[in-house]
Chain A
């Protein structure tokens, strides 16, 4: 399977990705889009997307990119920690994200995700996350 196909599949099979309206950008192995829908809104007055919608979208993008990059060679990536910086309020519009895998070790991977709406140079949020790829104590997780 190509990396792009594995990335698209990882998002397509996730029920939560379906709930948020997240899908891979065609042919890409690291870019995804979250189509706007009213249930993503957290503040209906401003109006702005909920921080959790954006965080969930970025987490899904990171997990799918890692799953695609490590397919078959390692276990399913499990998040260890995620850190989100919110830079601008996200409008009720389509949101884009790109995952950058900064390091893949034997057991741990480190990923950076950028999320933006109309302008990639004006991101709405950034995320960094560590993932566990292989668990030595498999009973613990």
Chain B
């Protein structure tokens, strides 16, 4: 069970960070089993002009973000996390001009690492366009404060 307050936070984490907002990400569904994110089709996000197919990079962004959402859902709280590693298999090209969905879940949570899997589809979950497996570091800020990345030394 996810509280209304936490659901509101999760919704914000999909729609307000600049990159997801610029791509038009939407939180389609979230429960304790994981998250479903969607990215609407847009002409300026196509990889090959004229193909009408969203670039693989857009699908990568959506899967990365959806994996992060699954981690917060599994943790039942918000904390800084960082993608360590992400592997995506592209099984087929998406149908031109279709919205893409990413469905992700945490299959193992340890003290330091969350292991996440998911699938992307263009409307039918039984016919995926891509699969993802990713590992996330938990509490990734290591005590670094906001703005740490702007300082002179490399984190």
Contact = CB atoms under 8 A, between A and B. Distances in A.
Interface of A: 13-16, 18-20, 38-53, 55-57, 59-60, 63, 76, 78-86, 88-89, 91-92, 119, 122, 140-141
7 contacts: A16-B45, A39-B22, A50-B19, A56-B57, A78-B90, A84-B86, A141-B92
Given A122-B154, A140-B92, A18 B44 contact: yes
A57 B57 contact: yes
B148 interface: yes
A52 B18 CA distance: 12
A96 B23 CA distance: 22
Given A16-B55, A55-B57, A45 B62 contact: no
Contacts of B113: none
B55 A60 contact: yes
Interface string B43-87: 111111100001111101110110000000000000000111111
A14 B47 CA distance: 5
B4 interface: no
Contacts of A15: 43-47, 49, 55
B79 to A, nearest CB: 13
B111 interface: no
B146 interface: yes
B26 to A, nearest CB: 15
A17 B56 CA distance: 11
Contacts of A52: 19, 23, 57-58, 60-62, 64-65
Closest 10 CB pairs of A and B: A56-B57, A52-B61, A39-B22, A50-B19, A16-B55, A45-B146, A41-B18, A55-B60, A83-B87, A51-B83
